Amino acid sequence: MNESFNQGMPTRPEAAVDGGHQPPILPPHTLEQLSDDEFWSLAHSMAETFATPATGLHEQYLECHLRQGRCILPLEVLLEVISSPYHFSIFPTSPPWMLGVRAWREEILPIVDLEAYLTQSVADREAASRGVGLLLIAGHEGVVLGLYVMDAIPIHLPQETFQALNSPASSSSHLPNGVIKGKVESETPLLDSDLLFQHIIQSLTI
C-alpha cells in the first residue's frame, strides 16, 4: 500500500467529553452477566468517552471468535461494532489478509480479517460479503482499524489467569515477535495491542 494511504490513515477520534467524564468502570463478573444487547449498548457508550482510556479496564477483554479458534483483545480498544451488510473496496496491492477499505465517520479505514492476519492466510471475502460475522472498529495509539471476526463476547480476566510466553520463539512463527504476548487457559492467544496495530500499519505502508 502506498504512502498516500498512510498519510490518510484516520486517527482515533476525540470524543466529546463533558467535564472529564470517563468510561464506566465495571466490577469483576459484571460483564459476564450482561446480555448481548446490554454489552453492545455499553460498548457504544464507552466509545463515546474513548478520548481518555480508563485505568479500570485493565482486566476487561473481548474474546474474539474466529472461524477456527479464538483470540483475546483488551476491551479498551473497542470503538464501535458494525453489523452487516459489509461493503469493502479492495486495494490490489494490499496484503492477502486485508478485506479492503471502507468509510467510517467520514474516514477511510483498512479492514483486516483478524484470523487471516494471525495465520497469514487469505481473507474470507466470501463470508464477509454474505454478512457473516462482526466488524469491530478498534482504536489504539491514535490509529483506527476495522477487525473482522465471527463473533465477540466480553470477558473478565484477572492478570493471574494469563500465561506469559517464555520467549519470542514461543509465539506464532507467522507473526512478529510479541504480537501474541501470552495465553489464557494454555491455548487462547492474548494479543498485544501495541505490536498488533504497529505491525498491521507497517504492513500497509510498505
The answer to whether 44 and 80 have CB atoms below 8 angstroms apart is: yes
Count CB-CB contacts under 10 A for residue 98.
27
152 strand-pairing partners: 64
* Residue ranges in 16-90 assigned as alpha helix (H): 36-48
Give the per-residue pLDDT at 45.
55
Give the per-residue pLDDT at 162.
73
- Regarding beta strands 60-65 and 180-184, do their DSSP bridges make them parallel or antiparallel, or are they unpaired? unpaired
Give the per-residue pLDDT at 18.
37
What domains appear along the chain, each with residue ranges and CATH number? Answer: 3-14+26-158+192-205 (2.40.50.180)
Give the per-residue pLDDT at 121.
93
As given in the structure block, the three cell numbers for residue 127 are: 463470508
Give the per-residue pLDDT at 169.
39
CA distance 177 to 71: 16
CA distance 159 to 58: 9
Give the per-residue pLDDT at 58.
64
Residue by residue, pLDDT tens for the chain (206 residues) are: 444 344 444 444 433 333 344 444 444 445 556 566 666 665 555 554 443 444 455 689 999 999 999 999 999 999 999 988 888 898 888 899 999 999 999 899 999 999 999 999 999 999 999 999 999 999 998 899 999 999 999 998 887 777 776 544 344 545 666 788 888 876 888 999 999 999 999 888 76
Give the per-residue pLDDT at 174.
59
Give the per-residue pLDDT at 83.
85
